[in-house]
Structure 1
Amino acid sequence: MTLELDVAAGGGAGGPAGPIGGSTEELPAGWARATIAELCDVNPRGFDEEPEDDDFISQVPMAAVEAETGRMDASTRARYGDLKKKSLTRFQENDVLFAKITPCMENGKIAKALGLAGGHALGSTEFHVLRTRGAIIPEYLMHYLLQRTVRVTAEHHMSGAVGQRRVPRPYLESLEVPVPPIPEQRRIIAAIEQQIARIEAGETAARAALANATTLAEQIATQGSRGCLEEVELYQGTLPKADIDDGPVPDLPAGWRWARLGEIASVVGGVTKDSKRQDDPDYIEVPYLRVANVQRGQLVLDKVTTIRVPPAKADSLYLKHGDVLLNEGGDRDKLGRGWVWEGQIEKCIHQNHVFRARVAWDEIHPKLLAWHANGFGKTWCDRNGTQSVNLASISLRKIKLLPVPIPPREVQEQLVKTIELHLEHVAATRTTAESALSRARDLRAALLHAAFTGALVPQDPADEPASALLDRVRAEQGTRAKKAPHKRAARKPRPSPPGQEELPS
């Protein structure tokens, strides 16, 4: 799974310049710098030609623009008359869309409008619209803005409240872009698209390998916790009935048996935060695990918060090596997921949305229980959980009824080693796939940097310099501004009705 990038040696003078606008480094021969305000109409008021009410146009919400790729989905259509009175952004074919709000801007939701119904669209009000004037090709501008370095700099200029910060129009208008001659822009675009196609093919293969590895790991853990990694003869196990929907209960190898979780482990819920008593001097502060820390098959402990609780409550909830943590609430697919605590943090407890199952080691190895809960337990909890408007949960009473396969004690240690060996091989595949995706991100950055510093394609002395074209565009803009109609004169005030005097303004 190898990703490579071919960058032809360009004829840029003075070495590569950084991709951020405003650089003082020398540009390649024939290039010039210009601001986006000089190159584009920013947020034009509407369309060059107004559609009829019965014309179908595209409807483009923010979700229709992909992150990082420059692609958008314009397939949703509606009558213009049904949309035109709504507060939506108007744009047309070949306009460049720039998501201005966090986190869409940081994620690279930038695209050239393409394939619009009737050449027109209404979309999210969180788009800046850039309509190029002729000195820059829309695809070239789009790829320039897609650079992560450009977006990182734009992020520093965002304004507004947290979670609603936006890139201001004046900043975008002032952003300087290195502009090559038009023929070179076309060569750059062709080279970028050719190399991006290769990078995306590698990304597709890496994502497929990652997905396959994830599926295989789940299968290994699920089958292994039931003793089915190798072909063995299976027998129908007995499970005492309970007031619960167990669904199909799998057969087990000879010598195995089914038990309920509450029979083999002490299961308790965690602490609920009492906001009103967090300043109580009798309380002690301890680290505690939340649902976000308890993932399927692993504990993520890079961000562990603290909570103040009564000392007696903390004593009853301190985690011990071998405790199995299982999620009680959250999104429905998170119910029952979890992993084994191995004493990573001293005197740590858990919140109320996380169950602690302290197993009897003479009954079952904790990892076997955790693997089983992440496989069979996932569908079992989904079947028996409850759903409110925003939160799914499973009660303590029900989780104690989770069916658990119990292998003979003498085979458990070897079974755990066998499962872990298989999972190590899968983890190596995951690491390779993740490295390939990281490499692809680096290749994209290197490709775009080369493109906008003159190092991707050679310069042609026969090309008209960009400065000459920019001078004409600026002159045309000046002429157009002079010919623009004057503002309409203010209306004369209507005469006051007879018998009433006009009040002074």
Structure 2
Amino acid sequence: MSEKELPAGWAWAELGDLLRDPLRNGHSAPATQGGDGVRTLSLTAVTQANFSIENTKITSADPSRVEDLWLEPGDILVQRSNTPDLVGTAAIYNGSRRWAIFPDLMIRVRVSALILPKFVALVLNSGRARSYFKEKAKGLSGSMPKIDQSTISSFVVPVPPLAEQARIVEVLENRLSRLGAAVGIVKNSRKRLVNLKKSILLDIVPDEVPQSWISATVEQAGTVELGRARHPDWHHGPEMRPYLRVANVFEDRIDTSDVMEMDFSGIFEKYRLHPGDVLLNEGQSPHLVGRPALYRGTPPDVAFTNSLLRFKANSNVMPEWALMVFRRHLHARRFMKEVRITTNIAHLSSKRLKAVEFPIPPMDEQKELVLRCDELLSGVDAMDREAVRTLKRADNLRRAILNRAFTGNLVPQDPTDEPASALLARIQAERAAQPKAKRTRSASTTPRKAKKSPAAAPTESAPAPSPTAAPTHAVQQEFDL
């Protein structure tokens, strides 16, 4: 958007030129078990715009080091590190003064009293701002992308007259609150659909096995194998083959949009997938470990890595029935009882999976139950897809509303309003009149040496000291008076 596209009376300004105080990173400290400590926000407080006790923790932060981090109403918090879709997310703090501080993964924005903080916070959540922060975010491979203070300070804000800012905020809060309420209803509906899916699976595969069924374990129902480990030496080689990993295996779905390759010279057949193989996540977050999908031949000629487990059903077990049993265990959180956690990743070993119960009905009953379950779950999945489409439409509508607001198309302009250029001039004068902030140092644990007392002033009768020779290298120092 160029400056010519702004309505009359508006102006562009970098966010750094609208600040009352310099941008400030927060401070993170370990959580404490007792009641004493400093209340610190969590990242979810900004992501959900919910500043309540449930989104805070008590930490062991040194009060003397965080005195300038206490939040005030009107402070804007920006996430400086998160996933690509969430980095740069902003929210305006609406809690009490000095109720909490903010962590190191957030940056505090305090704008001039001559501009509305709510207006700036809404601008920072517009589609243009989200795209800007996502593009500017940097991070090493495998780490969370990050933005810094200069990125935030350089973001260009469309500034309308102050009176129009108030009108925009009033209309936006009304429309976005109604949209947010509708989104909340749809999200709650999706949660109910998850519970409905769980109840269907628990009904089809009950805890109490009927007498006509076989009470078996996974090991007795088929074979379990772990995929091939990945290694940098196999990134290139004479027999490059595609392989599936955790990122490809979702519940009852294999995502083929990002299939990687590795050298499988001489061992491809050992790890080659065949239609009917059930793949389960070996390493995942605890509630998703064991997430299963049935390989139906797409993509063809593909192997799997050791982040996945493969189950090959015996002749008396339908692969589709095995998938149902594993989906049932996933939703019942049965796999969570078997996991071991290392470096925040839950792992389901083949040994522990083999010991998990696996009921086996007669083959005719398996076919009937699989058909019945597919019919019921397909209806649930159809409703969930419609809910997802509704949420996407709501997100697009929200972006469109914000875009109209910040291009001057949401509320009418009033030619009698003081133009933004005059407002920016006053903010600039205000900033110029502020005393320059002195740099402060963190408190040191090492005691400083006491300064020597100055010598007594010489009396008139005292002889003048001999002149000191000028040093070869002069060093100029400045001291506060």
TM-score (normalizing by structure 2): 0.78
In structure 2, the partner of 1:123 is 102
In structure 1, the partner of 2:376 is 422
- Work out whether 1:260 is the aligned partner of 2:239: no
Aligned match for 2:425, one of 471, 475, 493: 471
Which segments of 5 or more consecutive residues in structure 2 lack a partner in the other structure? 26-35, 440-450, 456-467, 475-481
Aligned match for 1:291, one of 246, 271, 292: 246
Distance 2:308 2:344 in 1: 17
Count how many residue pairs are aligned between Structure 1 and Structure 2.
437
In structure 2, the partner of 1:250 is 208
State the secondary structure of the residue aligned to 1:302.
coil
CA drift at 1:420: 1.0
5 Å matches for 1:316-327? 316-327=270-281
Change (3 A) 1:359 1:98: closer
In structure 2, the partner of 1:308 is 263
Change (3 A) 1:58 1:446: farther
In structure 2, the partner of 1:141 is 120
CA drift at 1:31: 2.6
Residue identity in the other structure for 1:272: A
In structure 2, the partner of 1:6 is none
State the secondary structure of the residue aligned to 2:287.
helix
In structure 2, the partner of 1:328 is 282
5 Å matches for 1:150-169? 150-158=129-137, 161=140, 163=143, 166-169=146-149
Q: What CA deviation, in whole Å up to 9, does each residue of 1:437-477 have, x standing for no partner?
A: 11111111011111111211222334333333333333444
- Work out whether 1:215 is the aligned partner of 2:180: no
Change (3 A) 1:380 1:467: closer
In structure 2, the partner of 1:343 is 297
Distance 1:430 1:146 in 2: 27
Aligned match for 1:433, one of 384, 387, 397: 387
Task: Check whether the contact 2:80–2:87 (CA below 8 A) recurs between aligned residues.
Answer: no
Aligned match for 1:271, one of 228, 239, 260: 228
Change (3 A) 1:34 1:402: closer
Task: Check whether the contact 1:88–1:124 (CA below 8 A) recurs between aligned residues.
Answer: no
- Work out whether 1:100 is the aligned partner of 2:80: yes
CA drift at 1:485: 11
In structure 1, the partner of 2:462 is none
Task: Check whether the contact 1:112–1:139 (CA below 8 A) recurs between aligned residues.
Answer: yes
Change (3 A) 1:31 1:391: closer
CA drift at 1:147: 0.9
Distance 1:402 1:451 in 2: 56
Distance 1:165 1:371 in 2: 38
Q: Tell me which of the two structures has the higher relative contact order, counting C-alpha pairs closer than 8 angstroms and 6 or more residues apart.
A: 1
State the secondary structure of the residue aligned to 1:65.
helix
In structure 1, the partner of 2:478 is none
Task: Check whether the contact 1:278–1:309 (CA below 8 A) recurs between aligned residues.
Answer: no
CA drift at 1:385: 4.0
Task: Check whether the contact 1:39–1:133 (CA below 8 A) recurs between aligned residues.
Answer: yes
Aligned match for 2:357, one of 388, 403, 408: 403
In structure 2, the partner of 1:368 is 321
Instruction: Name the stretch that deviates more: 442-451 or 462-471.
Output: 462-471
5 Å matches for 1:32-111? 32-41=11-20, 43=22, 59-67=39-47, 70-73=49-52, 82-85=62-65, 89=69, 91-103=71-83, 106-111=86-91
CA drift at 1:436: 1.4
In structure 2, the partner of 1:182 is 162
Change (3 A) 1:308 1:138: same
Instruction: Name the stretch that deviates more: 194-203 or 71-80.
Output: 71-80
Q: What CA deviation, in whole Å up to 9, does each residue of 1:338-375 have, x standing for no partner?
A: 121101022222223422222234x1221111111221
In structure 1, the partner of 2:10 is 31
Residue identity in the other structure for 1:37: G
Instruction: Name the stretch that deviates more: 374-383 or 315-324.
Output: 374-383
CA drift at 1:274: 4.7
Distance 2:61 2:281 in 1: 50
State the secondary structure of the residue aligned to 2:380.
helix
Change (3 A) 1:174 1:337: closer
CA drift at 1:104: 7.6
Instruction: Name the stretch that deviates more: 123-132 or 338-347.
Output: 123-132
Task: Check whether the contact 1:99–1:105 (CA below 8 A) recurs between aligned residues.
Answer: no
- Work out whether 1:132 is the aligned partner of 2:87: no
TM-score (normalizing by structure 1): 0.74
In structure 2, the partner of 1:234 is none
Distance 1:433 1:197 in 2: 19
Distance 2:394 2:249 in 1: 30
Which segments of 5 or more consecutive residues in structure 1 lack a partner in the other structure? 1-17, 47-55, 227-248
Aligned match for 1:449, one of 403, 419, 439: 403
Report the RMSD for the aligned CA atoms in angstroms: 3.8
Change (3 A) 1:204 1:63: same
Distance 1:323 1:466 in 2: 65
Distance 1:280 1:447 in 2: 52
CA drift at 1:164: 6.3
